[in-house]
């Protein structure tokens, strides 16, 4: 089938904005997690997000301060993750129609000698750390030793990631990226982690600051995704934020790298206004997760939600008549969840707007994030995504 002329899908991933623990959350140590719900209940007056309320966010689940709307602008629901994971890579792959059957490898005890030995032998530099850690904390702890010895700081998390932190005065970003590519080449087979991440920082001991020169070197999806299918059909896919990195730059015809949610929102609006023929505009807004969820910062998380909320009308106004807007997430990262600073195994919200149609209807609880890809696929006229069940026929 061919792409239907004039149709665009705009998918905005509110990174980590989960909406309640999944039934199997206890298997991930995440029982009781609820990013939006717990955040709302941690604030005296709950959440004041009038445009999210107008879309129908309060119709999905109880959120203090956000009431259900009698005639929401968006059709609403929530999606379970079918893949046995709660990481960025797997979540985005499933949003794009690829369900993973087994989790990507994680390293709660640090990386084994066979990985570290191969890496240090090839780069000729020693390492520090090699354990799960908060990035800001391990840089504060080991940064001075790193600067004195030149050894790289290696760490991981509950995600499938191999992270390399280095001071830009010792290892300029391009040199750090070269070493990340070496690690990416080594981390294959049973050690094929989802992402190798460059974590450059600057500053002096006691005042180190991570820079915006982070880069992710991802594993390629093991099968075809919605972006792949669109490009094969002659369409265009604009990746905003870290989308290109997550898909290892496959199926993405144009990439716009951003340094903040604000830049990502601005870029999305500009693409909506200026690229009339883009088939898929796929944006990731990472600040919720990176700056606030992982740092157990409810106040910052809420402020970031407010900053997106005020931009919703501008996003809606920038849409064309044949556009489909999907707001969702890739996992949770409950900033009130003091057991850890890791991602949480949660449902993700689903808000779907067809320009000029409404009010929205209840789409219920979807069995997989892949329902989103299947729906986008049907809306665009492709008929190529096989996982999930489309909700397009359920929309007003």
Q: What is the CATH number of the domain that holds 161?
A: 3.30.70.1250
Sheet holding 237-240, edge to edge: 254-256, 237-240, 280-285, 8-14, 323-328, 348-354, 75-79, 362-366
**pLDDT at residue 180 in the model:** 98
92, 75, 124: which is closest to 11 by C-alpha?
92
* Tokens standing for residue 318: 């920038």
Report yes or no on 97 lying in a domain.
yes
Whether 133 and 55 share a structural domain: no
SS3 of 230, please? helix
Specify the pLDDT at position 350: 99
Whole-number pLDDT of residue 179: 98
**How much is the pLDDT for 16?**
98
Say yes or no: 187 and 84 in one domain. no
> Is the whole-model pTM more than 0.85?
yes
> 217, exposed or middle or buried, with CB in 10 Å at 0-12, 13-18, 19+?
buried
Say if 342 falls within a structural domain.
Answer: yes
Residue 108 is assigned to a structural domain of this protein: no
Query: Residue 13 has what pLDDT?
Result: 98
132-142 pLDDT tens trace:
998 999 999 99
Query: Cα 248–254–258 angle (5° rounding)?
Result: 80
pLDDT at 20: 98
- Pairing between β-strand 280-285 and β-strand 8-14 as defined by DSSP bridges: parallel
Amino acid 301: pLDDT: 98
Counts for the chain of helices (H) and strands (E), in that order? 13, 14
Query: Cα–Cα distance between 305 and 144 in angstroms, integer?
Result: 35
| Domain that residue 122 falls in | 113-218
- pLDDT value at position 154? 98
Low-confidence ranges of the chain (pLDDT < 50): none
Contacts of 38 (CB under 8 A, 6+ apart): 334, 336, 337
128 token code pair: 């520090």
Angle at 79 between CA 76 and CA 82, to 5 degrees: 165
Per-residue pLDDT at 158: 84
Instruction: Identify the domain boundary among 172, 194, 218.
Output: 218
The pLDDT value given to residue 207: 96
Domain boundary among 188, 218, 248: 218
Q: What is the pLDDT of residue 355?
A: 87
CA atoms of 313 and 325, how far apart (whole Å) = 12
């Amino acid at each position: 089938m061919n792409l239907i002329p004039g149709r665009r899908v705009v998918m905005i991933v509110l990174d980590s904005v989960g909406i309640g623990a999944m039934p199997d959350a206890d298997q991930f140590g995440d029982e009781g997690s609820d990013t939006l719900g717990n955040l709302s209940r941690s604030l005296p007056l709950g959440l004041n997000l009038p445009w999210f309320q107008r879309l129908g966010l309060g119709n999905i689940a109880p959120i203090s301060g956000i009431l259900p709307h009698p005639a929401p602008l968006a059709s609403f629901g929530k999606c379970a993750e079918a893949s046995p994971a709660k990481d960025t890579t797997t979540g985005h792959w499933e949003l794009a129609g690829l369900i993973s059957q087994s989790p990507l490898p994680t390293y709660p005890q640090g990386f084994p000698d066979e990985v570290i030995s191969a890496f240090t032998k090839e780069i000729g530099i020693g390492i520090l750390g090699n354990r799960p850690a908060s990035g800001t904390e391990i840089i504060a702890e080991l940064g001075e030793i790193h600067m004195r010895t030149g050894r790289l700081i290696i760490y991981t998390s509950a995600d499938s990631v191999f992270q390399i932190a280095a001071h830009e005065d010792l290892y300029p970003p391009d040199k750090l990226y070269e070493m990340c590519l070496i690690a990416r080449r080594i981390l294959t087979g049973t050690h094929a982690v989802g992402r190798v991440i460059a974590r450059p920082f600057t500053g002096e001991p006691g005042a180190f600051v991570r820079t915006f020169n982070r880069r992710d070197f991802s594993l390629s999806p093991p099968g075809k995704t919605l972006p792949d299918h669109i490009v094969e059909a002659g369409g265009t896919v604009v990746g905003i934020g870290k989308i290109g990195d997550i898909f290892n730059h496959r199926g993405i015809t144009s990439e716009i790298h951003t340094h903040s949610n604000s830049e990502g929102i601005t870029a999305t609006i500009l693409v909506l206004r200026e690229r009339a023929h883009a088939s898929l505009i796929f944006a990731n807004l990472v600040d919720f997760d990176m700056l606030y969820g992982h740092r157990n910062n409810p106040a910052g998380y809420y402020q970031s939600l407010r900053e997106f909320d005020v931009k919703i009308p501008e996003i809606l106004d920038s849409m064309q008549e044949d556009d489909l807007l999907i707001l969702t997430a890739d996992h949770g990262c409950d900033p009130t969840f003091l057991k850890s600073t890791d991602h949480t195994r949660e449902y993700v919200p689903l808000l779907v707007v067809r320009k000029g149609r409404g009010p929205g209807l209840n789409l219920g609880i979807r069995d997989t994030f892949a329902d989103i890809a299947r729906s986008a696929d049907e809306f665009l006229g492709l008929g190529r995504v096989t996982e999930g069940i489309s909700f397009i026929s359920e929309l007003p």
